[in-house]
Structure 1
Amino acid sequence: MLRAFFRTEAGSTSMLLVATALALLWANSPWGDTYEAFWHTPMGLSFGDAVFSLDLRHWVNDGLMTLFFFVIGLEVSYEMRLGQLRDRRLIAVPAVAALGGMLVPAGIYLLLNAGGPGAGGWGVPIATDTAFVLGVLAVVGARCPDPLRAFLMTLAIVDDVLAIIIIALFYTETLSLPALVTAAVLLAAIMTLRWLRIWRAPAYIVLGFGLWVATLESGIHPTLIGIALGVLVFVYAPTDQKLLMAGEAVHEFTSEPSARAAREAARRVQRAVSVNERLQLRLHPWTSYVIVPVFALANAGVRLDGETLRAALTSPVAIGVALGLVLGKFIGISLGTWLPLRFGWGILPGNLVWGQLLGGAAVSGIGFTVALFIVDLAFDDPAIHAQAKIGILAGSLLAAALGWVIFRMAWDRGGVCAPPEAEPGEELPEILSVPVGPDDHVRGPEAARITIVEYGDFECPYCGRLHPILEELRQKNPDVRLVFRHFPLRTLHPRAAPAAIVAEAAADQDSFWEMHDILYDNQRFLTDEDLAHYAAQLDVEPWSDVPRHVSRIALDEASGRDSGVRGTPTLFLNGVRYQGPLDLDSISRAVEDLRKPS
């Protein structure tokens, strides 16, 4: 689910950029006056004497963006139950970082604007724009991108939830009690349908629309309802029974194809997947490629003539927003990351070092969608409105540039995970210190001409990418065998050592390589619960003899250190360190060279 999210968000960045550029061109063209006139065009519904009308900008901001936050609610619900957020140790660090990334920018803004006409805009620099951040990460190509993106994704989810709460609490001017009561009744009706497990889409659509109207009339911003309804959508992992029924239906269709069998197979396959995931699959592209760009088109337009720019250069609102996004986000997220790590409140999701984390903190200062959203709620004065938008644009550009510089300066070993303190000052040995023996885990013929020894880590993403390459190499070369030795990088990969222990437990029952493959196929899911599940699949007792397994792993680590291993993956071909690129063609050429007579 996270990978699909990353692809959609990063891909939609170009659409968002185009929409922003069009809005700026339109607002600064000879027809610039038509920009505001168009978005203030009223549109509504009437039933007899009853009229419900909003201008186009409010239909976008209050209507379409409610669907955007509904999708965020779906993502929050999924990640809390089945994804990244179910492991509390992984939530703590990005959650505290998100909180720091909101408090510090708000504080910097208020230092410049407290008591002034722009004081109410303290919420503008607090939010991170996920689409732009992931798009920038795709451009800079940061080392070990998957764990960094997972970290920033979790941070962004917490950031979005806190931003919606702030909008509801601090940017609600008046409340209508009858509308609030109506909204509460409709919400209770939706929760009742959920409790009764009634999944009729028309009922939810009608009740949801009524709840949106009631919330809008109550004075509370309806985006809060969007994220609340998203969280309420039921999510579950496919059960064995549903998967079996789906498989039987598909088998029946392939055996005797018919329209009835096709419909039944489609129905059972669909029901095996939760409503939450199905809605995300359908709605996420619409929100990312249509709704958010339309929102940018409706809100990013600001005149950039000489007078407006001169006013922004000295405006505490523009300066406060820009500094909040650039310095506030960077300081707040960096400090919010350091504190929980320092006091042991949580762990990082993978092989992240401070260069990457600081780069991520910097690009998190790209505030756009929610920042523009809050500008519309915080300011009535058109001049301050324009200054805040200029601050957002300037701050976001500077944050992107700062992140790019930090990523360029970040330490990079070109495809090998290793902690900074592991960088050796001496020349490393190139010969395998401990020859392959009977206690090693060997895959391939005993009399193979070529032996590849891999020092690996089950949580290392580079090892995960190398895994299918080595397997393809071995399949194409019958005279090649693979030896795996453990080298868990505990400071970077907290789940690598427990995974290694479970692999050794599987080895006791001659199932090491089966477990090896399972662990690499599920690198993102290595909690104790996950490991126990994988062990059960192979009928293995995962924690039966931990001290012996720890000693066995320690021997591998010692042999690795003596052989000059400092990161993963590290390969030795026939006992000599391999120092080429970790791709199939390069390793294959090295294998061919070994076959040549000396």
Structure 2
Amino acid sequence: MALTPRLSGQVAARAHHSRAAALLQKAAPFFAIGEVSGGPLLLASIAALLIVNSPLGHDFERLWDTPLRFSYGALAIARPLAEWVNDALMPLFFLIIGTEVKREFSKGSLATIRTAILPVAGAIGGLVVPIGVYLAFNYGTPTQHGWGVVAAMDTAFSLAIVAMFTTRLPAAVRAILLAFAAIDDIFGLLVIAVAYTAALDWLYLLGAGIAYVAIIALLRLGWVSSIAYVLLGGAVWVGVVGSGIHPTIAGVAIGLLLPTTSRLSERRFAERVQRPVDRLREAQEAAERTDDEAVAEREREQAQSQLGYIHEMAAATDEAAERLVRILTPWVSYLVLPLFALSNVRIHLSGELIGDALHSPLALGIVAGLVIGKPVGFFAAAWIATAVGAARLPDGVTWRMIVGVGGVAGIGFTISLFIAELAFAGSEGTEMAALAILAASLVSGMLGYAVLWSAAAPHAAKE
């Protein structure tokens, strides 16, 4: 999502004496290891397009449609490989999103009510206006029910574009986009749950709710061991999958629960480990001085005991949310998102398909909804919220930056493809929708980049 200040400085320094480094400097945010990055997703999407339109395309698609079966005795679960990616792996991405947005709202740039209302209002406008634009093209047609395709944005790509200006824009710009993206994706997931879920299994949903409440109870009790949370999180996922709701919503819901404060402050840590550190040193010195092997072994055990105490105290200074994001991020960036693209991008490019798209209400509605509806809805709702005094822009953020955020919000990929598959499953509309989503994402990405570049120039000149 963004380079760390130190890494950003390293990349900038290399650019002074290396042409290759100068070129890579712009691309670095798309491949940042420490943050969810859009580069691997972009490369995987391009690879999928090339393979699907090659002689290997049929076998490639058949690979992802092959059922992967797990069985134990009479119990058996078999789903296409692509569904396992969507249902079992993608919730990890949304777990990170839920965690990140909670951090921003609890202690980040959106910690005050008025700054928090800004992305909430923008997300509402960014939902209502695109749907209205889509229905303007498709109302009363067989594709009317595809309105949910324009409901959500792609978080990884949009944040990667903003990250290209990480040293030239206020940090609050990324916070606004992150919060908007998370709320926007939640709206998209709710659209899936409400509009594209054929039937709900309330028993499974009840089980997911019980597991979710159990996680809250353990957090209130200060339970430390992670295994209980992993098992309960798995139970929430199973309950949501069994209920018929898309399991990505389970990832966001669990992410919103993770603590964003450490159990032990750094000052308290220093106070509590001072004596154990002294005992550790004394035990080590005693073990080195004595010639009695039994005494030396006893002192070494004492040293190990003190190390264990210090280790646990050090772990208590780490935020649960930050630790989980740190562990999951490389896997999500370089495995989960690329697998999603490889298994879901199935556009058979042809002159006929492109020609049909130019006259298709479905394609025109998606492109107009994402490219025009998203930025207009986000900007208009955010402006109204500030005009009536309910919200305010964070320090250093300008309205041009808000326009840029709205521009990149038109990049639709993950949730949009999810919903297109649900809305048009088994019909030609799926491929048409995917092509429109791809075209809208390219246009929105370029427009958003251009606006953010123009907004970053005067901001950088002041520094």
TM range (shorter): 0.7 to 0.9
Equivalents in 2 of 1:9, 1:299: separation in Å?
Answer: 25
Q: Go from structure 1 to structure 2 and tell me whether the alpha carbon gap of 1:272 and 1:256 turns closer, same or farther (over 3 Å shift).
A: farther
Q: 2:339 aligns with which of 294, 307, 312?
A: 294
- Report if aligned partners of 1:9, 1:135 keep a CA contact under 8 Å in 2: no
Equivalents in 1 of 2:36, 2:103: separation in Å?
Answer: 22
Q: Report the residue type matching 2:442 in the other structure.
A: L
Question: Is 1:56 paired with 2:101?
Answer: no
- Name the SS for the 2:71 alignment partner: strand
Equivalents in 2 of 1:366, 1:99: separation in Å?
Answer: 17
Q: Go from structure 1 to structure 2 and tell me whether the alpha carbon gap of 1:39 and 1:255 turns closer, same or farther (over 3 Å shift).
A: farther
Q: Report the residue type matching 2:425 in the other structure.
A: D
Query: Which residue is 1:313 aligned to?
Result: 358
- Report if aligned partners of 1:253, 1:265 keep a CA contact under 8 Å in 2: no
Deviations 1:224-248 (A, max 9, x none): 2222222223332443434532566
Q: In structure 2, list runs of 5 or more residues that go unmatched.
A: 6-28, 285-302
- Report if aligned partners of 1:302, 1:390 keep a CA contact under 8 Å in 2: yes
- Report if aligned partners of 1:10, 1:138 keep a CA contact under 8 Å in 2: no
Q: 2:259 aligns with which of 234, 251, 257?
A: 234
Deviations 1:486-529 (A, max 9, x none): xxxxxxxxxxxxxxxxxxxxxxxxxxxxxxxxxxxxxxxxxxxx
- Name the SS for the 2:78 alignment partner: strand
Query: Which residue is 2:194 aligned to?
Result: 169
Equivalents in 1 of 2:424, 2:75: separation in Å?
Answer: 30
Equivalents in 2 of 1:210, 1:67: separation in Å?
Answer: 14
Q: Go from structure 1 to structure 2 and tell me whether the alpha carbon gap of 1:18 and 1:411 turns closer, same or farther (over 3 Å shift).
A: closer
- Report if aligned partners of 2:87, 2:247 keep a CA contact under 8 Å in 1: yes
* RMSD across aligned positions (CA): 2.8
Question: Is 1:346 paired with 2:371?
Answer: no
Deviations 1:97-155 (A, max 9, x none): 12111111111111111232222221212222222112223446794243322222222
- Report if aligned partners of 1:140, 1:404 keep a CA contact under 8 Å in 2: no
- Report if aligned partners of 1:10, 1:135 keep a CA contact under 8 Å in 2: no
- Report if aligned partners of 2:64, 2:81 keep a CA contact under 8 Å in 1: yes
What's the CA shift for 1:8? Answer: 5.4
- Name the SS for the 1:38 alignment partner: helix
Q: Report the residue type matching 2:201 in the other structure.
A: S
- Mapping of residues 71-150 of structure 1, within 5 Å: 71-139=96-164, 143-150=168-175
- The alignment of Structure 1 onto Structure 2 pairs a total of residues equal to 418
- Report if aligned partners of 1:143, 1:356 keep a CA contact under 8 Å in 2: no
- Mapping of residues 184-333 of structure 1, within 5 Å: 184-237=209-262, 238-239=264-265, 240-242=267-269, 244-246=271-273, 259-333=304-378
Q: 1:363 aligns with which of 408, 433, 448?
A: 408
Equivalents in 2 of 1:179, 1:11: separation in Å?
Answer: 31
Q: 1:393 aligns with which of 438, 442, 447?
A: 438
Equivalents in 1 of 2:452, 2:209: separation in Å?
Answer: 48
- Report if aligned partners of 1:69, 1:226 keep a CA contact under 8 Å in 2: yes
Q: 1:24 aligns with which of 44, 49, 73?
A: 49
**When the two structures are superposed, what TM-score results if normalisation uses the length of structure 2?**
0.82
- Mapping of residues 349-498 of structure 1, within 5 Å: 349-410=394-455, 412-413=457-458, 415-417=460-462, 462=463
What's the CA shift for 1:64? Answer: 0.6
Query: Which residue is 1:580 aligned to?
Result: none
- Name the SS for the 1:232 alignment partner: coil
- Report if aligned partners of 1:45, 1:53 keep a CA contact under 8 Å in 2: yes
Q: Report the residue type matching 2:97 in the other structure.
A: I
What's the CA shift for 1:416? Answer: 4.3
Between 1:257-266 and 1:198-207, the stretch displaced more is 257-266
Higher relative contact order by CA 8 Å / sep ≥ 6: 1 or 2?
A: 2
Q: Report the residue type matching 1:301 in the other structure.
A: R
Query: Which residue is 1:426 aligned to?
Result: none
What's the CA shift for 1:397? Answer: 0.8
Deviations 1:19-51 (A, max 9, x none): 101111111111111232111111132121111
Equivalents in 2 of 1:330, 1:377: separation in Å?
Answer: 25
Rg larger in structure: 1
- Report if aligned partners of 2:101, 2:179 keep a CA contact under 8 Å in 1: no
What's the CA shift for 1:209? Answer: 2.2
Deviations 1:164-183 (A, max 9, x none): 22222222111123323333
Between 1:170-179 and 1:380-389, the stretch displaced more is 170-179
- Name the SS for the 1:122 alignment partner: helix
- Name the SS for the 1:86 alignment partner: coil
Between 1:216-225 and 1:189-198, the stretch displaced more is 189-198
Q: Go from structure 1 to structure 2 and tell me whether the alpha carbon gap of 1:400 and 1:94 turns closer, same or farther (over 3 Å shift).
A: same
Query: Which residue is 1:425 aligned to?
Result: none
Whichever structure has more helix as a proportion of its residues is: 2
Q: Report the residue type matching 2:451 in the other structure.
A: I
Q: Go from structure 1 to structure 2 and tell me whether the alpha carbon gap of 1:178 and 1:247 turns closer, same or farther (over 3 Å shift).
A: same
Q: Report the residue type matching 1:244 in the other structure.
A: E
Equivalents in 1 of 2:167, 2:366: separation in Å?
Answer: 27
**When the two structures are superposed, what TM-score results if normalisation uses the length of structure 1?**
0.64
- Report if aligned partners of 1:106, 1:324 keep a CA contact under 8 Å in 2: yes
- Report if aligned partners of 1:179, 1:215 keep a CA contact under 8 Å in 2: yes
Q: Report the residue type matching 1:273 in the other structure.
A: D
Q: Report the residue type matching 2:157 in the other structure.
A: F
